[in-house]
Amino acid sequence: AGVTRNSLNDALRHTGLQFMIDPGADATIGGMTACGASGTAAVKYHTMRENVLAMTTVLPPQTIASATNDTRSRSKPRVVTCGSNALKNSAGYNLPHLFIGSEGTLGIITDVTVKIYPIPSHVIAASCTFDDLHTAAEVVTTIRMLGIPVSR
């Protein structure tokens, strides 16, 4: 969770894969998860909420999840591992989504498994100007409805 986005992408570069969430800063993966980060690429690659497969979180002592009758263990933090490496999982509560975006208030994220994507073989850029906001919104809606791939 302490690995930064740029460090992860540097380590992945030789594989042809990349972590696509780009909040605009070289943030840590754990911090991006805690904040529910997104960025300009969220149109195509979504946000951290959709890109976290599994995580490990340390809960503070005296929480419901760590409640017990043993007074010695009440002062110890509990570790919760949730999610899986499977791309689809519909069993039980969706605990990773509870922790993603919680800003660290529910626990400290110590380990994160994220989705990685192939580096695009090419990128085409276009720039458009519009006379008014209504026309711009209509064009965006039309592009999305036609299924034209847009990444930013």
Q: What is the pLDDT of residue 20?
A: 92
Residue 38, pLDDT > 60, answer yes
Give the pLDDT confidence of 68-77 residue by residue, as tens digits: 455 555 567 7
Cα separation, 6 vs 27, in Å, equals 8
Token look-up 């039980």 returns 92
The pTM score is 0.77
Give the pLDDT confidence of 88-100 residue by residue, as tens digits: 767 778 888 899 9
Q: What is the pLDDT of residue 71?
A: 55
Q: How confident is the model at residue 132 (pLDDT cuts 50, 70, 90)?
A: very high
111: nearest Cα among 25, 19, 35, 3: 3
Q: Which residues of 87-102 are buried (b: 16+ CB within 10 A; e: fewer)?
A: eeeeeeeebbeebbeb
Sign (positive or negative) of CA dihedral 20, 25, 30, 34: negative
